[in-house]
């Protein structure tokens, strides 16, 4: 596997992990704000979607289901890494088939 390919994979993973951390931090900030207001923050997750519920003080606010970026980014990380592993295996097999000069 070429060094440039490894660096490319590491950079892409780093960017996706940074975005994943940012999304998680944003969700944690929402939960923290709800706690400061005396509300209970609950998240219901489904396949690539989630909904949040704020409850307390005789009210319950339910958000519509929205895209779950945590799951999307996680699947993206796995698929991108599989792509790079497949490419590396393919190159190793091709180099093993070709006769040494």
Q: Look at residue 6 in the predicted model and tell me its pLDDT.
A: 85
Domain ranges of the chain: 3-92
Q: Look at residue 91 in the predicted model and tell me its pLDDT.
A: 87
DSSP letters along 40-81, please?
A: EEEEEEETTEEEEEEEETTEEEEPPPEE-HHHHHHHHHHHHH
Which comes out higher in pLDDT, residue 100 or 49? Answer: 49
pLDDT of 1-31, one tens digit each?
A: 677 888 999 999 999 999 999 999 999 999 9
Contact partners, residue 88, CB within 8 Å, separation at least 6: 1, 5
pLDDT of 49-98, one tens digit each?
A: 999 999 998 989 999 999 999 999 999 999 999 999 999 899 889 888 87
Judged against a pLDDT cut of 70, whether residue 101 lies above it is answered with: no
Q: Look at residue 95 in the predicted model and tell me its pLDDT.
A: 86
Q: Which two tokens stand for residue 82?
A: 């599989």
What spatial distance separates the first Cα and last Cα of the chain, rounded to whole Å? 19
Q: Look at residue 100 in the predicted model and tell me its pLDDT.
A: 60
Q: Which of 20, 58, 24, 62 is nearest to 41 (CA)?
A: 62
């Amino acid at each position: 596997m070429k060094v440039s390919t490894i660096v490319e994979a590491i950079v892409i993973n780093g960017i996706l992990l940074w975005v994943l951390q940012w999304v998680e931090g944003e969700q944690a900030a929402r939960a923290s704000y709800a706690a400061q207001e005396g509300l209970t923050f609950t998240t219901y997750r489904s396949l690539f979607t989630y909904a949040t519920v704020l409850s307390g003080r005789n009210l319950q606010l339910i958000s519509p289901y929205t895209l779950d970026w945590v799951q999307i980014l996680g699947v993206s990380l796995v698929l991108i890494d599989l792509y790079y592993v497949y490419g590396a295996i393919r190159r190793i097999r091709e180099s093993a088939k070709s006769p040494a000069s």
